[in-house]
Structure 1
């Protein structure tokens, strides 16, 4: 049978609609896939331009005593681990959504993630375990550091993401004195003023948590390890023993902050310049 006869014997009344239907289905699927990919790309670009990020950063903070200015210090903070992402650290989508919602609820006046309940306790523990494992083989002497999960206000930071702060207890206690922050703490860059505000607010929360822990210790007779369902209330600022580089030095001249220039911006975010 030659090709012409073969074509003439085909049931075109059935074949043609089927071919057209499959072609239209393929084109519709291709268009939908392209639209979803393009939309995802646009959303990613918009997210990057807005400053929102899924990055998860671990930063060490310390006060560097200025040798030529008695009583004055310089705030240094450095990343201590490779940058990771929320997706890499938490594989459970429900946990990631919980963390995003908790991070969005923070502000300059209240930068600490409100990790409530058992889920919050486990989220905090996972982050602490992650950084403890990353720096477990460093040659530096182990010390007690305070660990806290934060997300600073997008109105004052370049990138909004979850930052886990590590700070020595003695340094954080000094940040609790707002007069000390105003008059004796200098920074490496002019825009680092917001980190002083965040550390001050964290110091006040830490003070309140220590007081509550002391009261609970006096009233509780239970000395066993708490069960999972007893972690409804937990400290959001936790102690961790790790070894970090103690040789960090300033990378520039100290900058004294002009706090009066930030009063209006602080007022807009609801922050009151006092330590009460």
Structure 2
């Protein structure tokens, strides 16, 4: 016991208390900063979820299904309902792309899309690689499905946040014959219905994608006539590449509507679309044929 009192008497109390106090304050400051950063991170994540921001990658199949109201004249229906379904497990941007710079570029391209131009502007070699990675990912996931393989079209999109609650990259899959129909806006307006009223924006997005696909087909045909090089182009020569790509996969095409088809009242949406710089022709009443003067 005497040794303990002797040890206490030798301590430099004028230095001990400041050092202990400083270390205690440093520990508490570090703990508070760590807690604040963790709390702030969780709070930001919650705010992103409530605002609809996400890094999700969703792969969706689109299908036109005839409505069961066959025409007496033709015996077949000229009305269709648009269905779209997820065809693969949801993944994230971080899981699909391990390159941080590529993830930042995709986020930037996704922020630049609009309902008028919903396809990601993947230009140059970097864009070619980004598109190829997503295309290869879904092709690999669907490689072992039991369904008959068919030709499908693939496009990376991010729809306008003015109309879509959740911001994420949606990769569209649609058969060429179906997308060809979407190129005709009059057909979309008069012959197409949807499962839910708010799916009208998907009709507009597919119409814009169909227009891009037609332009790419024309450009590819012109390049094929003028090009003498029939070999596969090198990657570093992909200054221009098709953003609507073809792939062969097997998908279940027997989906049925989950609700009664809903006919879109386009008169409610066309004014706002026109303000966005996307004028789509309203319905025009049929005109009577000119009478025969004889």
Moved over 4 A (4+): none
Contact conserved, 2:63 with 2:253, CA < 8 A, in 1?
Answer: no
Distance, in Å, in 1 between the alignment partners of 2:244 and 2:102 is 20
Tell me if 1:62 matches 2:63.
Answer: yes
Distance, in Å, in 1 between the alignment partners of 2:14 and 2:117 is 71
Aligned length: 275
Q: Which residue of 2 aligns with 1:34?
A: 35
TM-score scaled by length of structure 2: 0.90
Distance, in Å, in 2 between the alignment partners of 1:120 and 1:189 is 34
Tell me, which stretches of 5 or more residues in structure 1 are unaligned? Answer: none
Q: Which residue of 2 aligns with 1:134?
A: 141
Contact conserved, 2:83 with 2:195, CA < 8 A, in 1?
Answer: yes
Q: Which is greater in Rg? A: 2
| Map 1:138-217 → 2, pairs under 5 A | 138-217=145-224
Tell me if 1:116 matches 2:123.
Answer: yes
- Worse overlay, 177-186 or 45-54: 45-54
Match of 1:90 among 67, 86, 97: 97
After superposition, the CA RMSD in angstroms is 1.4
Distance, in Å, in 1 between the alignment partners of 2:280 and 2:272 is 11
TM-superposed CA distance for 1:221, in Å, is: 1.1
Distance, in Å, in 2 between the alignment partners of 1:267 and 1:128 is 33
TM-superposed CA distance for 1:8, in Å, is: 2.2
| Map 1:235-246 → 2, pairs under 5 A | 235-246=242-253
Distance, in Å, in 1 between the alignment partners of 2:52 and 2:272 is 18
TM-score scaled by length of structure 1: 0.96
Q: Which residue of 2 aligns with 1:7?
A: 8
Tell me if 1:231 matches 2:232.
Answer: no
TM-superposed CA distance for 1:37, in Å, is: 1.1
